[in-house]
Amino acid sequence: MQTKIVRLLGGALAAITLLGAFPGATLAQDKRQQTKNDWRNLAALAGGLTAFGLIKHDPTLSFVGAAGALYSVDRYEKDRKSQDKAARTRASLFSKTYFYRDGHRYERRLVTSKGHKYYRFKRVD
């Protein structure tokens, strides 16, 4: 029974990892948020495995669950901090009305598409 549970949890981990590996049609920010949520959910699942191992007095399940929970929490925190850094960088860039790169001037323009307004930079020579 314990082997089946370990295999089931291993399969769930593999499925979450594979789902995060294939890029979809979502924006990069949405993907980053989804990956962060996957790590959080995996940490909760591993914490449950730890509790199950403690209840059943199985040190192997407890150890595997605790190690998985610690790793998942670490990855969640790294993704969270990375997401904040990306948001700060993006806000810093779009707060400027123009910038120069490789000798070319790029100006910020307001674009409306499908009822949504957003900024993008256009090269001006």
Domain ranges, ordered by start, for the chain? 2-94, 97-125
Residue 50 has pLDDT above 80, yes or no: yes
Q: How far apart are CA 39 and CA 100, in angstroms?
A: 38
Give the tens place of pLDDT for each residue, 27-43.
767 887 888 899 999 99
* Cα dihedral 89→95→97→102 (10° resolution): -10
Is 39 buried (19+), middle (13-18) or exposed (0-12) by CB count in 10 A?
buried
* pTM more than 0.85: no
Whether the CB-CB separation of 103 and 86 falls below 8 Å is answered with no
Q: What is the pLDDT of residue 20?
A: 47
Q: What is the pLDDT of residue 9?
A: 56
Q: If you write DSSP's letter for every residue of 94-123 in order, what string do you get?
A: HTSSEEEETTEEEEEEEEEETTEEEEEEEE
85: left (phi over 0), alpha (psi -120 to 50) or beta: alpha
The Cβ of residue 33 has, within 10 Å, a number of other Cβ atoms equal to: 15
